[in-house]
Homo-oligomer: A and B are copies of this chain.
Amino acid sequence: MYVVLVYDINKENNGQKRWNHIFKICKRYLSHIQNSVFEGDITKVQLVKLKQELDEYIDHELDSVIIFKSRQEKWLNKEFWGKEDDKASFFI
């Protein structure tokens, strides 16, 4: 399935460290397309693993993660404006 994952990590309670961990985990499963936005094709099993890994770092009181799931990417049409992070992210 195709997913878009967006996260908002609060800066409190050592947030930058959580953000870095979450970024690295997402990067192993999905493509980085904007500061806190990832997308990509993923199997159900991989998605469960991704969520398990993220769960170790997400602070459920402070942070927010939304996963949009679609059976096929072709149902979604994407429009980019301004700078594109997917290129920049190769340097992170």
Contact = CB atoms under 8 A, between A and B. Distances in A.
Contacts of A78: 66-69
A37 B82 contact: no
A14 interface: no
Counted per complex, copies of this chain come to 2
Interface string A49-92: 00000100011111111111111000111111111110000000
Q: What DSSP secondary structure best describes chain A's contact surface?
A: strand
A58 to B, nearest CB: 6
Interface residues of A, number: 35
Contact of A82 (B35, B65, B77): B65
A34 interface: yes
Contact of A63 (B4, B33, B36, B83): B83
Given A65-B80, A65-B82, A66-B80, 19 more contacts: A6-B34, A8-B34, A8-B35, A8-B85, A33-B66, A34-B64, A34-B66, A37-B66, A58-B82, A59-B82, A61-B82, A62-B83, A67-B79, A68-B76, A68-B78, A69-B76, A69-B77, A70-B75, A71-B75
